[in-house]
């Protein structure tokens, strides 16, 4: 039997591993929630952890079975002795056996009880933890749900019960989910949002109870709710929450002290010393142009010049195989092509990209390099033009659609968006922020964006300045000019990728540079 002299109890080891996990350094993190494709492996990892927990249960059952079996044998002998004590102890064999048992067997039982169960399972969690989401991942997931809520004007109560943007799903959040949302939003000093989520925790705890070891007490949740209300200077409401908690626990010293503190604040007119952080969306009832676009609230265009046609003229090849083209805008020039990619091509592109997906970055003028930012949450993979026969065909198709020469342009970029994945309002052109970026091939004259998947809800490409929104359609392509005829930047091209509510959004884009278009789209004089 293995000695446990130098081993910590399994529960302590488990807590230690969890704390290590939560406080792991963010360097090298996988950023799980920023890509649906990247989260798939988490399900496999969770399956391994469940199997590991089942192994732990089996070990516990074996130990319990040993104990129960031995109890029966030991109790029979003890009952026999106590039923006829003098007769039993008068026999030297019984006396010897009792002395031996008491001296040796019970020491062995002490070692058996002290020997921890689950050490190998804890070690297995330690092996897997580097692949698990970190606290940073949870923070990003919280920000994603908060982003979805504010962008689409959803109610926290509806999100909690699986009602997303008017559609009911067979899923809901638990007390632990809503509580985590509230805790992290509170830590971010977003007290208004935190209050909405902690209230849902209070409501859920009246209906559902949590089993050990994940349970949290009603008092803990109510106290946190009161603290959040105090941060919002809602002292009277905070007092009501504490009084409700005291009705269940009238002698709780923490609750009594908190009640006294709040009553003093009300009496003296004192408020929280911390400024209340309120989301900009909560300060006005009117949604922004960006939010309206994401919600599909832009009025349809009444411009008679916008129409659909078969494009047979951009390249000689299109005379044989014209493309379905929809003219979306004239200023800036913007067209939507339909049925450009086949299902087989889309599957191949996704297969190419999935193994190499990395967190998307944005060029920062201040540092002169690409950096991970909160305003862009997705994962990307880059492919040279000649990477495969498919990329060669794709670039030829881009030339057919745009009429541009792709020499000197950027590589194909494949992207997958995850939980609430978005790209905040931005321009694609550089505007010579850094001459090194444009010195050789010029600025980005045009953007070509392929939609590889339909998206069940959300994920539109929105142009707030011209009040246009394009929703993903599998196999379609949106193309627009970033520069005007005279080569100057076009600020009307401000655009954004709206947060994905439900679905896995895959796109592929190509930024076309201007230098090689000298004879394809000559720079014209500015009209006076």
Residue 299 has pLDDT above 60, yes or no: yes
Identify the pLDDT of residue 245.
Answer: 92
CB 419, CB 145: distance < 8 Å: yes
pLDDT-derived band at 23, boundaries 50, 70, 90: very low
The token duo for 441 is 């091939």
CATH architecture for residues 154-268 = Alpha Horseshoe (1.25)
Among 88-97, 266-275, 503-512, the least confident range: 266-275
The mean per-residue pLDDT over the stretch 266-275 comes to 74
Q: What is the dihedral of CA 350, 351, 355, 360, to 10 degrees?
A: -10
Instruction: Note the pLDDT tens digit of each residue in 425-463.
Output: 999 998 765 567 788 899 999 999 999 999 999 999 999
Identify the pLDDT of residue 526.
Answer: 61
DSSP state for residue 207 in the 8-state scheme: T
Identify the pLDDT of residue 237.
Answer: 95
Instruction: Note the pLDDT tens digit of each residue in 137-150.
Output: 999 999 999 999 99
pLDDT-derived band at 487, boundaries 50, 70, 90: confident
Residue 481 has pLDDT above 80, yes or no: yes
What size, in residues, is the chain? 528
Residue 384 has pLDDT above 70, yes or no: yes
**Cα dist. 171→160, 161, 196, 456 in Å?**
9, 7, 19, 16
Identify the pLDDT of residue 519.
Answer: 82
Instruction: Tell the CATH topology of 290-517.
Output: Jelly Rolls (2.60.120)
Residue 499 has pLDDT above 50, yes or no: yes
Residue 28 has pLDDT above 50, yes or no: no
Provide the β-strand partners of residue 167: 164
Q: What whole-number percentage of the chain has pLDDT above 90?
A: 73
Residue 524 has pLDDT above 90, yes or no: no
CA 202 to chain centre: 24
Identify the pLDDT of residue 227.
Answer: 95
Collect contacts of 484-491 with beta carbons under 8 A, ≥24 apart.
484/332, 484/526, 485/521, 485/523, 485/524, 485/526, 486/523, 486/524, 486/525, 486/526, 487/514, 487/523, 488/526, 489/427, 489/429, 489/431, 489/443, 490/332, 490/429, 491/427, 491/465
Residue 8 has pLDDT above 60, yes or no: no
Residue 378 has pLDDT above 80, yes or no: yes
Identify the pLDDT of residue 372.
Answer: 86
- Quick one: which H or E segment has residue 423? strand 423-426
When the pLDDT of each residue in the chain is averaged and rounded to a whole number, the result is: 88
Please tell me the distance from the alpha carbon of residue 93 to that of residue 80, in angstroms, as a whole number.
Answer: 14
Among 205-219, 236-250, 485-499, the least confident range: 205-219
Please tell me the distance from the alpha carbon of residue 304 to that of residue 300, in angstroms, as a whole number.
Answer: 12
Identify the pLDDT of residue 363.
Answer: 80
Please tell me the distance from the alpha carbon of residue 172 to that of residue 160, in angstroms, as a whole number.
Answer: 6
The mean per-residue pLDDT over the stretch 486-511 comes to 96
């Amino acid at each position: 039997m293995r000695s446990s002299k130098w081993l910590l109890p399994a529960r302590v080891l488990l807590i230690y591993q969890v704390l290590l996990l939560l406080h792991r350094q963010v360097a090298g993190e996988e950023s799980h929630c920023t890509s649906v494709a990247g989260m798939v492996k988490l399900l496999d990892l969770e399956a391994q952890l469940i199997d590991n927990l089942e192994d732990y249960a089996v070990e516990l059952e074996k130990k319990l079975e040993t104990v129960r079996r031995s109890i029966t044998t030991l109790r029979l002998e003890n009952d026999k002795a106590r039923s006829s004590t003098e007769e039993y102890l008068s026999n030297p064999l019984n006396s010897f056996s009792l002395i031996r048992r008491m001296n040796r067997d019970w020491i062995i039982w002490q070692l058996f009880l002290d020997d921890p169960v689950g050490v190998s399972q804890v070690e297995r969690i330690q092996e897997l933890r580097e692949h698990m989401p970190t606290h940073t991942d949870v923070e990003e997931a919280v920000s994603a749900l908060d982003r979805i809520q504010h962008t689409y004007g959803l109610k926290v109560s509806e999100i909690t019960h699986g009602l997303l943007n008017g559609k009911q799903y067979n899923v809901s959040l638990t007390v632990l989910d809503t509580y985590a949302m509230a805790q992290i939003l509170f830590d971010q000093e977003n007290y208004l949002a935190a209050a909405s989520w902690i209230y849902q925790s209070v409501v859920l705890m009246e209906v559902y109870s949590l089993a050990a070891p994940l349970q949290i007490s009603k008092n803990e949740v109510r106290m946190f709710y009161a603290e959040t209300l105090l941060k919002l200077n809602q002292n009277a409401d905070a007092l009501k929450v504490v009084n409700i908690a005291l009705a269940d626990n009238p002698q709780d010293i923490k609750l009594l002290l908190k009640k006294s503190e709040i009553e003093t604040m009300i009496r003296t007119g004192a408020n929280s010393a911390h400024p209340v952080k309120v989301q900009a969306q909560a300060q006005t009832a009117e949604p922004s142009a960006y939010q309206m676009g994401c919600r599909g609230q832009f009025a349809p265009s009444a411009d008679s010049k916008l129409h659909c046609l078969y494009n047979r003229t951009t390249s000689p090849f299109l005379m044989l195989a014209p493309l379905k083209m929809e003219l979306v805008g004239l200023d800036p020039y913007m067209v939507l092509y339909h049925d450009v990619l086949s299902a087989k091509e889309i599957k191949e592109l996704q297969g190419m990209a999935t193994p190499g997906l990395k967190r998307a970055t944005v060029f920062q003028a201040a540092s002169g390099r690409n950096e991970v930012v909160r305003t862009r949450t997705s994962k990307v993979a880059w492919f040279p033009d000649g990477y495969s026969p498919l990329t060669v065909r794709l670039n030829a198709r881009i030339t057919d659609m745009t009429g541009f020469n792709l020499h000197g342009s950027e590589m194909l970029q494949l992207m997958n968006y995850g939980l609430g994945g978005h790209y905040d309002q931005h321009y694609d052109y550089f505007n010579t922020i850094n001459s090194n970026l444009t010195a050789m091939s010029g600025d980005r004259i045009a953007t070509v964006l392929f939609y590889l998947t339909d998206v069940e809800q959300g994920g539109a490409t929105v142009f707030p300045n011209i009040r246009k929104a394009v929703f993903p359609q599998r196999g379609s392509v949106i193309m627009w000019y970033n520069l005007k005829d005279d080569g100057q930047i076009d600020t009307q091209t401000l655009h954004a990728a709206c947060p994905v509510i439900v679905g896995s959004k895959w796109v592929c884009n190509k930024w076309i540079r201007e230098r090689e278009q000298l004879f394809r789209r000559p720079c014209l004089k500015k009209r006076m």
